[in-house]
Chain A
Amino acid sequence: DAGVTQSPTHLIKTRGQQVTLRCSPKSGHDTVSWYQQALGQGPQFIFQYYEEEERQRGNFPDRFSGHQFPNYSSELNVNALLLGDSALYLCASSPPGQGPYGYTFGSGTRLTVV
């Protein structure tokens, strides 16, 4: 049973560029959430997608946008990259329903902005 798959695993971008990160949720899961984790910090919630729409959003600027596809996979886009965007970006999926289920996380994409 495949878990959450994220690609790429590592990425180096230049300040001002744009980046797209991809996530395939665990089989049977229909909700995808994205988190940013800076070094030494806990993951910070960016937004959540359900039924191809953004359902909840954390305290992140509009430079961060996303998309969910009919097969439940998702993309995170970040425009006009800043040095401070360097972090581990985590995707988490959860099963149908709105209960407080445990999320399944991917291993993340390590983004370095230079």
Chain B
Amino acid sequence: LAKTTQPISMDSYEGQEVNITCSHNNIATNDYITWYQQFPSQGPRFIIQGYKTKVTNEVASLFIPADRKSSTLSLPRVSLSDTAVYYCLVSRDPSGGSYIPTFGRGTSLIVHP
């Protein structure tokens, strides 16, 4: 199973761009990279998903280099409401069945005024 490593915590200020990098050295060919956001006492919320290169949606961008051994979640112009735990995970298809998201410990992002 592809293990992910990401910083335990990060601090930023309102209006700044935040980049959270995750390493997944043994990612498999059919694995996808997904990022979730979680607020206290709530379930994780899907942010973005990608396989390679760059993916962008209305809230974030995801950069994946050619070797796919790492990925970077980019949050433009963060606000206080972006304070949350961010999980990088590899969605693994273990047996030709469905993809099971496997979570690590996540990165606790604190945005300061």
Please list the residues of chain A having a beta carbon within 8 angstroms of any beta carbon in chain B. Answer: 4, 31, 33, 35, 40-45, 48, 50, 55-56, 88, 90-92, 94, 98-108, 110
Contact = CB atoms under 8 A, between A and B. Distances in A.
Given A44-B103, A45-B100, A56-B97, A100 B91 contact: yes
Contact of A98 (B43, B44, B97): B97
B58 to A, nearest CB: 14
A110 B41 CA distance: 8
B104 to A, nearest CB: 5
Most buried by B among A45, A90, A103, A110: A103
Interface in B31-72: 31-32, 34, 41-46, 49
B105 interface: yes
Contact of A42 (B43, B93, B97, B105): B105
Most buried by A among B43, B99, B102: B43
Contacts of A103: 44, 46, 101
Interface in B10-32: 31-32
A48 B91 CA distance: 14
Chain B interface, >50% SS class: loop
Interface in B77-113: 87, 91, 93-95, 97-106
Contacts of B45: 105
Interface residues of B, number: 25
16 contacts: A41-B105, A42-B104, A42-B105, A42-B106, A45-B103, A56-B97, A88-B41, A92-B43, A98-B93, A100-B32, A100-B99, A102-B34, A103-B44, A107-B41, A108-B41, A108-B42
B73 to A, nearest CB: 14
A33 B104 CA distance: 17
Most buried by A among B42, B104, B105: B42
A106 B103 contact: no
For the complex of A and B, the 10 pairs showing the least CB-CB separation, nearest first, are A105-B43, A102-B46, A42-B103, A100-B32, A100-B99, A100-B91, A98-B98, A43-B103, A90-B43, A105-B44
Contacts of A106: 43
A114 B89 CA distance: 33
